[in-house]
Structure 1
């Protein structure tokens, strides 16, 4: 990790212009000495890092080196920022036609300030150099070996991911567990508990996942819920997680009894399967209240617990326990072979088999160890490389979970210094945290962990780093994009998380704490650089946090309202590069101006922010600004164009945002802009709102919400040539037109026809369209469209020709209250129909909700309709009389859901006269709510 820091600092030193340094002689000399010291230290870092685990004195030296390196990096970053901002200011002054005298005065003042700041930074660098001198001298006493490498990535993985079988050697355990879950007995209690017990990395969660996703289990239970518990056991969080999974929506309640009341009501008369993964608990008190609420479920419900401790299984009241043992020799070899020999030639496999067998013995039947080492050795083709794994001293490591740490350490040391830093940064997340890939890459960017060369973009480098860690089995539980199969979110195995906490030592601190415990929160080391706190209540900053003057990451999640918390102490945390104040209901104070190093600012789900302070636009280094779901925010700051390094501007879910100022088109680094507002009403002085034409200079993609507010000039939209936007895949169109109904219809139609969205769209959402018909010409040209959602189009009386869309897989139609009849126009049939026509050829999912006046849904018996339909949901359509027989007879239809549709309920219920028409559908749900 220190190697990555040293490399970054040497890069910073090299980037500083020599002529600038010579402006201050003391700085020139100090920087030269810094460079010399760091080059000498860099030469021994490889040996030092490998010895720090086993030798405490080397570990202490390493910590001192990291501490001073961070301080030096901050000083250099400050110098570079002052230099770049001064260049911007000079360019700005040159472009303005000011009076000569004013210009001179302004420039002189600015130059004086610049020289003063540089002198201050130079003095700081000189003091830091004295500390580094001592550390550089101390290295000699350790007699480190000179490094053999260059600090660049040693092995880059380019092969594709392996499709491993879900589980090895657990057939008997799987069948036994499934039998326990599906067994029916009149003797059992309403809800019985089954536990899977075994050491870390043995495969408990994998076994639970395998059974959880089994088809028989799916059909046996009405509802399935998966909750990651971990340590500490927080009964409020667990109860809320169960409730939210059942309802499919977030709940704000924080009082346990209120949550439990809702939970009892939600599971009443339902057969549920609840998995509580990775449970740690010392007494039954916290669990009993939740467990008692779960007994309102119907008989045959099950709670499945995974835990490392048999005592936990007893505390949880388990009636059955499955002990998971180590893999047998054959299963271990099969798993290792599939990973380690992937992509190797037959000759290479023959040469490595014998050594591979010895390595498998070292793993002692632990699946995680086998996968980790197998992933490492997949990159190596020489026998001596494999032999070095057996000969490593790391197998002698005496630490907690020592059976698993050596394999992970071997993989860790095979990473480049930058990759190690990216990997260990994940210690800032708590256990079982769902890590968003894009968010993680932006956090790496903010900390300067990505080694970018030439014109390559940081995000692409981050993708490569992430894939490298994935292919070494250092991440798991992947959630993939339904569009391209790429990983969207993932987790870390508990043991891997223990490991990153072990190697990052005092650098990262992550805690989920109850509100009354926050003031007493103790942080053992003031050298903590990355801090994560999650609380279910308001955050009152404890004194232990205020001592962390050198924090680089501060993440606060899920805190309550009206507590000033950290926002009143920004001047204390001037080293911050990442600040995450999710769910933090407090106005952002002007003190944010002190955070000059800040690269990542996340303020999402803040219900107090209406405007962002203008001083935020002075944060020159800012790369990511996220105000997603800040419901009250009305405008972005006027000077946003000054954020020239901004790459990701996330403003989705801001329903009241009506003003994006001029200047956003100057953000040439911008890669993500997920919402854009064109407002015909706003005119702040001479600084008008942006037009669609402003997007021409930005590299849009892949998602955008385009909000059109009282747009008066539809010709301007057409001239903007929106259709030529190549990278845009997901588009939301929102209309807000304030005028009489007749004018609204005309204006909406003119606007939407003028827009002409790009033809390569894969997902389209249309909201608040005020026209009576949606039959615009460009709709059927979207031949790649997979997902379409039509919301809140209250005046629309006729649906467009959607049946003609050849790639459409998912269709949602909601709150279109003027629709009374759906027929051939919906299917895409205009005149004569022939048997060769197929309407909705690829549609798999159809949801229709809140069509209050919809009465008839007619099909055409002469054509094929929705031959691939898998799921059909009709909700709150009380006047709809019947569903088309042809659609109900679709052989692929697996799920039918009818909610609050009185005529349909009467027709298709158990005793209904058309029940036979749906009896072949595997999963049918008919309810009043």
Structure 2
């Protein structure tokens, strides 16, 4: 998150003290002279910008905590430099301090160069000075001066950054040049790129946004937003506020949102601005008109399956030519691999003619034939070429894609169909899919669910994205997601509707406001036979439900956009329900009510809640619940209730997964009474500062993950009681500086993950861990663990490289 970490008079003073200390020490500490000169150079290069940002921050009155990270780093650095001056001939200290100086230099350089680019930060401060009055106005619109209208008090810079295009994009070089010419012309504000679904419109625009000339003109003022079938004006504007690193206002109307967007963009001039509206549907002319402002050098680039003639002649993206189509198909079918079957070129030509230059069809068909026997190639080609006009329209493209699903076995095909349970253009958490598939298909191990997902990915029917990588075990997929092309989702929905309502395996319901489908209100259609029920509602839904009888349902996915949401009473009648998934895609956490229905679900085994506020659950009892996942939830009312008995409410719980729950400051003691727990994952909970001593009571715990809990300062001594713990991950727990001596009592521990921790002196009891197989750490601390290896310890050291990417910024909630 692009928070203003630098600023304030204290920062300047500490920075100056460190620079003076380095300058004085480099001549005294001759053994470290080269390293200290490099550190001095890094600091001097940052000095001019530090001074300028300081001046601007005095105007903005930025909070003190935003400078603490850098200040603390520099204070420790000054202390280290003084210690270096006193080192004589102690070889171990020389080696130790040299490593620390290198780490300090890298940390300061990375802080400015990678995480908070100084030039961008300075420019943002200038804009923030101009917009301070706008922010006060937005506060007044909220009706009070409190910060409750904000989400996490600040926005997320980069939330509208354009995604990277695929690695291979044949045939788009000429369209890219032509589109750039259109974009750089004066006079035209709105440019529409149109083509049928699957023709590569979004890929072309992604490529455009990464082009050097385009970046040179628009710099960091490129806003990429996916619109989809049901546009949300307030949501689009909120994303732009996020992108620029500002607090996200809560708008009352679309008009308020548009007015504030114009106020946000005006101070950016005279710099050029590019707003990309991806996947705009037919009938959205009024939406595009709203985003037109009288600003110089302001462009709107639209991708759509439709043309919008009132905005002038658009850019019509054509199918791929023969050469580009052949290149894409061969890449998708992996024909460039010498070990792959190289078919008769005549077969390839027939497939290319059938695909009609449609990139999506070429990619999916190529993936479905990759590595297959020649007989399968011949059979498929015969099927695909029976109708020479198979790709003349979207419906015909869908027909071709349907045939490509024949390569899937029944279970994998069913998994593919389940992907349409989630909204269009949203990332699907892999953990949610695993929960669904484990119960729908009675899988004996989660690995089978992951294998099905990889098979879909290998056939280009889904794209897997890892937003972050921790030094964690391979079974943790908290930061892994699936994306699916709109056309492939439409195919799954289309196939789901081929059977009569009462006989469908999955019911996919997408409502606008309170407009329910007619069959739902027709009691003759009940009871229903579906095993999967997905209901998507928008911000205008009033939570007034019609009744439903669906006794066979095993999985319910509720996709919501609301500040308040009432769970439907008809859930109580679903006796076979095993998985409940509630995901809020709005900007602010949804307040859940009617939570008592959870207690009525006698067979519920897995529950996943995302971006909701949990009310008090004192009356809820779920005796068969085995796994609970809370992502970006407000959990204060539950964990802070001293009268709530967790062991009574969840007596058979096996897994707890808590991620990005910002109001979780300490783990309640009551959780430690659920002795059945085997896996406890708490990740990215940055306010979690303490673990209860009672954690030692979790004698069946096998996995404990505390990754990126940056305020956590220590592990309790009672951790030594966890005799069955085989996996411990405290990666990126920046405040943990030492391990308790009792860690040597973890007799079953096999894997220890410490990447990003400042533990330079492990306890000697580590040598007692006879079953320890691997220690995962970073380069700066690896040498300390190598010392223990010399002490005959059997474990191996795995150095984890820094993983820096911005995929996580595309999460609409962060």
Q: TM-score range by the shorter chain?
A: 0.5 to 0.7
Per-residue Cα deviation, 1:351-398 (whole angstroms, up to 9, x for no partner): x43333323333232211111111111131222553145337997999
Cα 1:729/1:459, change in 2 over 3 Å: farther
The normalised TM-score by structure 1 is 0.53
| 1:589-600 matched pairs, under 5 angstroms | 589-594=617-622, 596-597=624-625, 599-600=627-628
Q: Distance in 2 between matches of 1:622 and 1:807?
A: 29
Match of 1:34 in 2: none
Select the residue among 238, 241, 263 that pairs with 1:240.
Answer: 238
* Preserved contact between residue 356 and residue 391 of structure 2 (Cα < 8 Å): no
* Preserved contact between residue 202 and residue 324 of structure 1 (Cα < 8 Å): yes
Select the residue among 557, 560, 584 that pairs with 1:531.
Answer: 557
| 1:811-830 matched pairs, under 5 angstroms | none
Match of 1:516 in 2: 540
Cα 1:339/1:673, change in 2 over 3 Å: same
Q: Distance in 2 between matches of 1:696 and 1:394?
A: 64
- The answer on 1:355 being equivalent to 2:381 is no
Q: Distance in 2 between matches of 1:260 and 1:755?
A: 59
* Preserved contact between residue 567 and residue 589 of structure 1 (Cα < 8 Å): yes
For structure 2, list consecutive stretches of 5 or more residues without a partner in the other structure.
1-164, 498-505, 510-533, 787-798, 807-814
For structure 1, list consecutive stretches of 5 or more residues without a partner in the other structure.
1-162, 453-457, 683-688, 735-748, 765-776, 784-805, 812-843, 846-929
* Preserved contact between residue 425 and residue 508 of structure 1 (Cα < 8 Å): no
Q: Distance in 2 between matches of 1:414 and 1:361?
A: 21
- The answer on 1:170 being equivalent to 2:202 is no
* Preserved contact between residue 355 and residue 383 of structure 1 (Cα < 8 Å): no
3-state DSSP of counterpart to 1:275 = strand
Match of 1:117 in 2: none
Match of 2:451 in 1: 464
Q: Distance in 2 between matches of 1:179 and 1:242?
A: 26
- The answer on 1:387 being equivalent to 2:419 is no
| 1:442-453 matched pairs, under 5 angstroms | 442-444=434-436, 446-447=438-439, 449=441, 451-452=443-444
* Preserved contact between residue 635 and residue 659 of structure 1 (Cα < 8 Å): yes
Cα 1:576/1:692, change in 2 over 3 Å: closer
Select the residue among 396, 399, 413 that pairs with 1:403.
Answer: 396
Q: Distance in 1 between matches of 2:407 and 2:735?
A: 52
Match of 1:795 in 2: none
3-state DSSP of counterpart to 1:517 = coil
Q: Distance in 2 between matches of 1:391 and 1:214?
A: 40
Cα 1:633/1:370, change in 2 over 3 Å: same
Alignment RMSD: 4.9
Per-residue Cα deviation, 1:1-47 (whole angstroms, up to 9, x for no partner): xxxxxxxxxxxxxxxxxxxxxxxxxxxxxxxxxxxxxxxxxxxxxxx
Cα 1:254/1:400, change in 2 over 3 Å: farther
Q: What displacement does 1:596 show?
A: 2.1
Q: Distance in 2 between matches of 1:197 and 1:760?
A: 52
Q: Distance in 2 between matches of 1:215 and 1:523?
A: 56
Select the residue among 464, 475, 482 that pairs with 2:462.
Answer: 475
Cα 1:599/1:673, change in 2 over 3 Å: same
3-state DSSP of counterpart to 1:556 = strand
Q: Distance in 1 between matches of 2:741 and 2:168?
A: 55
Q: What displacement does 1:417 show?
A: 3.1
Select the residue among 332, 342, 357 that pairs with 1:365.
Answer: 357
- The answer on 1:421 being equivalent to 2:414 is yes
* Preserved contact between residue 641 and residue 663 of structure 1 (Cα < 8 Å): no
| 1:336-735 matched pairs, under 5 angstroms | 336-340=329-333, 342=335, 348-350=341-343, 352-388=344-380, 390-391=382-383, 401-437=394-430, 439-440=431-432, 442-444=434-436, 446-447=438-439, 449=441, 451-452=443-444, 458-476=445-463, 478=465, 488-505=480-497, 506-509=506-509, 510=534, 513-519=537-543, 526=550, 529-541=555-567, 551=577, 552-558=579-585, 563-594=591-622, 596-597=624-625, 599-602=627-630, 604-606=632-634, 608-609=636-637, 610-611=639-640, 613-615=645-647, 618=650, 620=652, 622-626=654-658, 628-632=660-664, 634-638=666-670, 640=672, 642=674, 644=676, 646-653=678-685, 655-656=687-688, 658-660=690-692, 661-663=694-696, 665-670=698-703, 672-674=705-707, 691-694=718-721, 697-700=724-727, 704=731, 716=741, 726-728=751-753, 730-732=755-757
Cα 1:392/1:637, change in 2 over 3 Å: farther
Cα 1:200/1:337, change in 2 over 3 Å: same
Match of 1:892 in 2: none
Cα 1:588/1:419, change in 2 over 3 Å: farther
Cα 1:543/1:282, change in 2 over 3 Å: farther
Aligned length: 575
* Preserved contact between residue 279 and residue 306 of structure 1 (Cα < 8 Å): yes
3-state DSSP of counterpart to 2:596 = helix
Q: Distance in 1 between matches of 2:460 and 2:301?
A: 26
Q: What displacement does 1:696 show?
A: 6.7
| 1:257-276 matched pairs, under 5 angstroms | 259-260=257-258, 262-267=260-265, 268-269=267-268, 270-276=271-277
The normalised TM-score by structure 2 is 0.60
Q: Distance in 2 between matches of 1:729 and 1:411?
A: 45
* Preserved contact between residue 507 and residue 530 of structure 1 (Cα < 8 Å): no
Cα 1:200/1:451, change in 2 over 3 Å: same
Cα 1:652/1:809, change in 2 over 3 Å: closer
- The answer on 1:215 being equivalent to 2:212 is yes
Cα 1:449/1:646, change in 2 over 3 Å: farther
* Preserved contact between residue 617 and residue 643 of structure 1 (Cα < 8 Å): no
3-state DSSP of counterpart to 1:390 = helix
Q: What displacement does 1:197 show?
A: 0.8
Q: Distance in 2 between matches of 1:530 and 1:400?
A: 34
Q: What displacement does 1:407 show?
A: 3.7
Q: Distance in 2 between matches of 1:504 and 1:432?
A: 19
3-state DSSP of counterpart to 2:193 = strand
3-state DSSP of counterpart to 1:507 = strand
Q: Distance in 2 between matches of 1:637 and 1:463?
A: 34
3-state DSSP of counterpart to 1:530 = strand
Q: What displacement does 1:419 show?
A: 2.1
Match of 1:59 in 2: none
Q: Distance in 2 between matches of 1:524 and 1:328?
A: 51
Q: What displacement does 1:493 show?
A: 0.2
Match of 2:501 in 1: none
Cα 1:398/1:210, change in 2 over 3 Å: closer
3-state DSSP of counterpart to 1:244 = helix
Q: Distance in 2 between matches of 1:697 and 1:287?
A: 59
Match of 2:515 in 1: none
Select the residue among 325, 340, 348 that pairs with 2:318.
Answer: 325
* Preserved contact between residue 593 and residue 615 of structure 1 (Cα < 8 Å): no
